[in-house]
Amino acid sequence: MSTLEGPIVEPQTNDKPKQLVIFCHGYGADGNDLIGLSSYFQNILPNAVFMSPNAPQKCDLNPLGYQWFDFQSGDPALIWKGVLEAASILNSFIDEQLKKYNLSDDNLALIGFSQGTMMSLHVGLRREKPMRALVGFSGKLIGEELLKDDLVSKPPIYLIHGEQDPMVPHQETINATEVLQGHDIEVQKHISPNTPHSIAEDGLKIAIDFLSSKFSKQIND
């Protein structure tokens, strides 16, 4: 059993959920940081259940927030160990929720921000079956040198980044896009002009349109 908990937004309709959208927040935040985005995505996915779990560890630098893994040490081996531990917990959480709602990876989307994007990419590329869509804001690809051996599935991905991000340079999204394309993964990118480490209106609209296109058949059924 996973130990992840966080806010949930149930479908707007009275029908059982047809999609599961999971937000993965950034370093030092919590599930409340992203769950508000569900109101925008509900317009296109009224039958979706939205979840935004708190990451599994209390944040080292912000005791009121959470972290998926510790990167303060700067030790690549320790960071990678933390990523693997968090990935196991996140995967268990995803599996539990899909089973709970009788859904499959084909009904699943992950939306990450910063460290949450790092986790979403790690998990999304290694699940047994590809999820329907993956959106990553302001993040980076960790362990790209291992991807050749680790790659299991190829979900469609959209990476979005602020041009003026002082915390995670937007070059990380450019680099990640090139690496993923090199593995024949369907990936698109967008750099939001004059945007710091945050989600800009143009990036949010792109993410909404992306999920709308990927879930279009399910939406119209």
The predicted pLDDT at position 34 comes to: 98
Give me the torsion for CA of 37, 41, 46, 52, rounded to 10°.
-40
Q: What is the pLDDT of residues 124-159, one digit of tens each?
A: 999 999 999 999 999 999 999 999 999 999 999 999
Please indicate whether residue 190 is annotated as part of the active site: no
Active-site residue (options: 197, 198, 202, 212):
197
Find the mean pLDDT for residues 180-197. Answer: 98
Find the mean pLDDT for residues 100-119. Answer: 98
| Contact yes or no for 137/199 (Cβ under 8 A) | yes
Lowest mean pLDDT among 33-37, 43-47, 59-63, 92-96: 59-63
Lowest mean pLDDT among 47-51, 61-65, 199-203: 61-65
The predicted pLDDT at position 217 comes to: 78
Please indicate whether residue 114 is annotated as part of the active site: yes
Q: Which tokens sit at 173? A: 């999204």
The predicted pLDDT at position 15 comes to: 87
Active-site residue (options: 138, 165, 170, 192):
165
As a whole number of angstroms, the distance between CA 78 and CA 82 comes to 6
Please indicate whether residue 88 is annotated as part of the active site: no
Please tell me what DSSP assigns to residue 145. G
Domain 8-220 has CATH 3.40.50.1820: yes
- If phi > 0 it is left, if psi is from -120 to 50 it is alpha, else beta; for residue 98 that is alpha
The predicted pLDDT at position 221 comes to: 62
Active-site residue (options: 114, 120, 138, 192):
114
Q: What is the share, in percent, of the chain residues with pLDDT greater than 70?
A: 98
pLDDT over 60 (residue 1)? no
| Contact yes or no for 195/203 (Cβ under 8 A) | yes
pLDDT, mean over the chain: 96
Please report the sign of the dihedral spanned by the C-alpha atoms of residue 61, residue 24, residue 143, residue 1.
Answer: positive
As a whole number of angstroms, the distance between CA 49 and CA 198 comes to 24
Domain residue extents for the chain: 8-220
Separation in Å, CA 151 to CA 36, 121, 124, 161: 32, 11, 9, 24
Q: Is the pTM of this model over 0.85?
A: yes
Q: What is the pLDDT of residues 15-51, one digit of tens each?
A: 899 999 999 999 999 999 999 999 999 999 999 999 9
Secondary structure, 3-state, 175-215: HHHHHHHHCCCCEEEEEECCCCCCCCHHHHHHHHHHHHHHC
Task: Give the SS3 label for residue 146.
Answer: helix
